[in-house]
Amino acid sequence: MSSIQAKNLTLSYGQKAIFSNLDLQIPAGKITVFIGSNGCGKSTLLRSLARLMKPTEGSILLDGSQIAKLSSKEVARKLAILPQGPIAPEGLTVHQLVKQGRYPYQSWLQQWSHEDEKLVKKALEVTHMSELSNRSVDSLSGGQRQRAWIAMTLAQNTPTILLDEPTTYLDMTHQIEILDLLFDLNEQENRTIVMVLHDINLACRYAHHIVAVKNGRIHAQGEPGVIMNKQLIRDVFDMECQVTADPLFGTPLCIPHGKGRKLATPLNKAL
């Protein structure tokens, strides 16, 4: 298990600061979800944790050492990142894609080993992509495609996986499929998962730890059941809502106010 920590972090695009002097500890072995409105900086924060973006000040600590001072391949053996909406080159097969996940373990001397082969096979199995492994990535459905990319990050065999909006553009079935897969990875293999999600209700259902981001600050963080309430949604999303318990899991369920049609006849009880 590895630990990720942001210390006194300042992130900026050009002159404009996105985050200033931010401290954050990602709980190890847990699922952490960043939520917040569009443009609040949650993706920026996630990217900086994966050294895709250099901080102007402060540092990211991976297992206690500064990420900027570690070799990039060393980082890639501890932490995998799936950026938002990755695009595979036309004609790349699933198997070829997943094999690239072994890149951080290869060098001039060490090309392709038995271990590499084994981990690629396992990554394909876990994501249920074995049967599709010779298909080209661009011919797959959105959900399958996302699973192929997740398989690539799994082949990296890192204790920590970061994902930037892994469910965006997917229909509900495929969203659940992806999140269930990540849930299992956390439960069964104790991997630390950090992701950005747009759906607050799914975030509450799958996360151990929620980080609510607003205007370049961490507005609140903690267990969903503890921190999630009307006031938080009002503050972070600028939206009125009612929070009840999810009938299946008991996790917080936000029902937005706003407009809507009232049903003329009550719902059938048998529903």
Partner 1 sequence: MDTLLTTRSRKIAGLIALFLFFVAGMICSIAFGVTNISWRTILLSYTEFNGSQEHLIIQNARMPRAFIAAAAGASLAVAGALMQGITRNQLASPSLFGINAGAAFFIVVGSAFFGASGMSAFATLAFIGAAFTSILVYVLGSIGNDGLTPLKVTLAGAALTAFFSSLSLGVLLTGGQTFDQVLYWFVGSVAGRDMNIFSAAAPFTAIALIGALFLARHMNVLALGEDVAVGLGQKTIYIKLAAGIIIVLLAGGSVSMAGPIAFVGIIVPHLTRYLVGIDYRWIIPYCAVLGSILLLAADIGSRYILFPKEVPIGVMTAIIGVPFFVYIARKGGGTLNE
Judged by CB under 8 A, does residue 176 bind partner 1? no
- Report how far residue 39's alpha carbon sits from residue 37's, in angstroms, rounded to the nearest whole number: 6
- Report how far residue 81's alpha carbon sits from residue 260's, in angstroms, rounded to the nearest whole number: 39
- Report how far residue 174's alpha carbon sits from residue 236's, in angstroms, rounded to the nearest whole number: 27
Stretch that binds partner 1, among 2-10, 84-92, 169-177, 190-198 (CB under 8 A): 84-92
Render the burial of 38-77: b for 16+ CB within 10 Å, e for the rest: eebbbbbbbbbbbbebebeebbbebbeeebeebeeeebbe
Q: Are 2 and 78 in contact (CB under 8 A)?
A: yes
Q: What is the token pair recorded at 144?
A: 């399958």
Stretch that binds partner 1, among 47-55, 166-174, 212-220, 222-230 (CB under 8 A): 47-55
Task: Name the 3-class secondary structure at 13.
Answer: strand
Judged by CB under 8 A, does residue 256 bind partner 1? no
Nearer to partner 1, 78 or 214 (CB): 78
Nearer to partner 1, 54 or 234 (CB): 54
Least distance to partner 1, CB of residue 67, Å: 12
Contacts with partner 1: how many residues (CB under 8 A)? 34
Stretch that binds partner 1, among 25-33, 77-85, 210-218, 225-233 (CB under 8 A): 77-85
Q: Which of 66, 73, 125, 141 binds partner 1 (CB under 8 A)?
A: 73
Nearer to partner 1, 104 or 252 (CB): 104
Shortest CA distance to 198 belongs to which of 22, 33, 23?
33
Judged by CB under 8 A, does residue 196 bind partner 1? no
Compose the 134-163 pattern: x for residues touching partner 1 by CB under 8 A, - for all others: --x----------------x--x-------
Least distance to partner 1, CB of residue 20, Å: 18
Judged by CB under 8 A, does residue 128 bind partner 1? no
Give residues with Cβ within 8 angstroms of 133, minimum separation 6.
93, 94, 95, 98, 124
- How many Cβ atoms sit within 10 Å of the Cβ of residue 168? 15
Stretch that binds partner 1, among 19-27, 43-51, 173-181, 192-200 (CB under 8 A): 43-51
Q: Which amino acid would we find at residue 245? A: A
Least distance to partner 1, CB of residue 83, Å: 4
Q: Which amino acid would we find at residue 222? A: G
Q: How far apart are the first and last CA of the chain?
A: 44
Nearer to partner 1, 56 or 201 (CB): 56
**Which stretches of the chain bind partner 1, using CB under 8 A?**
13-14, 47, 50-52, 71-77, 80-83, 86-92, 96-97, 100-101, 103-104, 106, 136, 153, 156
